[in-house]
């Protein structure tokens, strides 16, 4: 299904156009619908009488679908596969991340026309990969990387600024081209964005990469409203092109300024999380994805809470739209290991062992995965299949 976007949209018309684009994206497939509908996931979860384990309260992704994991580069240049989108991060029950990932993997499996037996095997391997992260204190736990992960990592290592520039803004010239992806900003937005970057904290963020001088000057060259994402379409999001240094040493970077909204994911009682949503995202990033935590900063923009990070060429998504049966189980195991590491690094040894023991309970003789996880995934697939068809019906009626 082709997504038709206007050349660009006036500020006053943004919300209606972005809502339409979001609905269109979610109508592309069940997997896209799952990615773009975090609210249905938690609404369903909250309305069920499920005997879910109460895992130790840790920072969780909160929206742990496959598209939110991928290679990330740290400020020092190291590249690791970590959770790359933390809009919904909260201190909560790690079981919620497991269920959300199980649903995402199941919908990806169905989108690849794989049999139900493969989906069951994926959930089993997902649990094995997750538990593997709790079996050792070694952050470098050995794992057999799936082909799709190897390809993504190889691509990440080879990518340079010019690749990011051509992919994101179409060229390496110092301007953001207006069109389908980037829309004009109002004068007040441009002024606020420039003011946001006119401070010492933001200068330190921009110059934090290892190849840059700590005392380098920065200059905002261009700003634009950014039409990006799915579930976040309709919230404020901007691209800011920044120059670092002067003369022959000058280099460019592309900054992502994103509105931080209230998390839907349930929070643990007495959690002590920051009340500001952007500060919540930043703190969650430090705990869950250290590579991202060192590259992100909270701020205020036009009375909105926002977080800012530089986009690096190495930050890419996995392409798992067409899985084979063999690759599906390897992907499930590997991605669950990544999530397990994010959870495990926040627990002491006793807590890790207790949580691992809890995960080992309630397994049937026919499925090597907790019964609560499998039954939740099955029921969620049913719920989202029906929700997807209803979404498509409503979308077709509105565009007819």
Look up tokens 């409203």; give the residue. 225
Q: Is 188 left (phi over 0), alpha (psi -120 to 50) or beta?
A: alpha
Report the C-alpha gap between 390 and 143 in whole angstroms.
Answer: 40
Instruction: Summarize pLDDT for 66-121 with one digit per residue, the tens.
Output: 888 988 888 777 888 899 999 999 999 999 999 999 999 988 888 788 888 888 99
Report the C-alpha gap between 87 and 298 in whole angstroms.
Answer: 12
Nearest to 29 by CA among 397, 384, 400, 394: 384
3-state secondary structure 322-391: CCCHHHHHHHHHHHHHHHHHHHHCCCCHHHHHHHHHHHCCCECCCCCCEHHHHHHHHHHHHHHHHHHHHH
Report the C-alpha gap between 163 and 395 in whole angstroms.
Answer: 35
What pTM, to 2 d.p., does this model score? 0.86
**Four-residue CA torsion sign, 27, 32, 34, 35:** negative
Could you list the pLDDT tens digit for every one of the 400 residues in the chain? 454 544 566 677 787 788 888 888 888 877 777 877 788 888 888 777 677 888 999 999 999 988 889 888 887 778 888 999 999 999 999 999 999 999 999 888 887 888 888 889 999 999 999 999 987 655 455 566 777 777 667 766 667 656 666 666 665 567 888 888 889 999 999 999 999 999 888 888 888 876 788 788 889 999 999 988 776 777 899 999 998 888 777 888 889 999 999 999 889 988 889 999 999 999 999 999 998 988 899 999 999 999 999 888 777 777 666 778 888 899 899 999 999 999 999 999 999 999 998 888 877 777 778 888 998 999 888 888 888 888 788 767 676 4
Following CA atoms 370, 375, 378, 380 in sequence, which dihedral angle do they give, to the nearest 10 degrees?
A: -110
């Amino acid at each position: 299904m082709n997504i038709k976007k206007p050349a660009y949209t006036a500020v006053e018309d943004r919300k209606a156009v972005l809502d339409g684009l979001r609905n269109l994206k979610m109508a592309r497939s069940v997997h896209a619908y799952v990615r773009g509908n975090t609210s249905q996931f938690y609404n369903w979860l909250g309305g069920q009488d499920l005997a879910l384990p109460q895992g130790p309260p840790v920072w969780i992704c909160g929206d742990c679908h496959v598209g939110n994991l991928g290679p990330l580069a740290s400020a020092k240049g190291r590249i690791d596969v970590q959770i790359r989108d933390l809009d919904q991060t909260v201190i909560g029950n790690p079981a919620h991340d497991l269920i959300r990932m199980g649903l995402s993997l199941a919908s990806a499996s169905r989108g690849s026309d794989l049999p139900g037996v493969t989906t069951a095997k994926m959930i089993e391997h997902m649990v094995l990969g997750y538990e593997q992260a709790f079996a050792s204190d070694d952050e470098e736990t050995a794992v057999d990387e799936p082909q799709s992960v190897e390809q993504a990592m190889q691509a990440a290592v080879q990518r340079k600024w010019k690749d990011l520039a051509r992919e994101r803004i179409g060229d390496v010239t110092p301007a953001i081209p207006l069109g389908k992806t980037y829309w004009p900003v109002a004068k007040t937005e441009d002024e606020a964005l420039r003011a946001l970057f006119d401070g010492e904290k933001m200068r330190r963020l921009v110059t934090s990469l290892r190849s840059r001088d700590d005392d380098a000057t920065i200059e905002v060259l261009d700003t634009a409203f950014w039409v990006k994402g799915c579930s976040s379409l309709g919230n404020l999001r901007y691209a800011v092109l920044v120059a670092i240094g002067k003369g022959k040493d000058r280099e460019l970077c592309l900054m992502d300024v994103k509105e931080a909204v209230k998390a839907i994911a349930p929070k643990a009682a007495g959690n002590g999380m920051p009340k500001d949503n952007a500060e919540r995202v930043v703190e969650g990033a430090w705990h869950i994805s250290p590579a991202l935590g060192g590259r992100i900063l909270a701020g205020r923009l036009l009375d909105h809470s926002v977080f800012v990070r530089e986009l690096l060429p190495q930050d890419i998504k996995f392409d798992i739209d067409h899985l084979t049966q063999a690759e599906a189980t390897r992907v499930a195991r590997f991605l669950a290991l990544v999530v397990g590491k994010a959870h495990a690094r926040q627990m002491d040894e006793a807590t890790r062992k207790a949580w691992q023991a809890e995960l080992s309970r309630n397994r049937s003789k026919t499925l090597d995965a907790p019964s609560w996880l499998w039954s939740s995934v099955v029921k969620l697939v049913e719920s989202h299949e029906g929700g997807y068809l209803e979404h498509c019906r409503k979308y077709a009626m509105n565009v007819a």
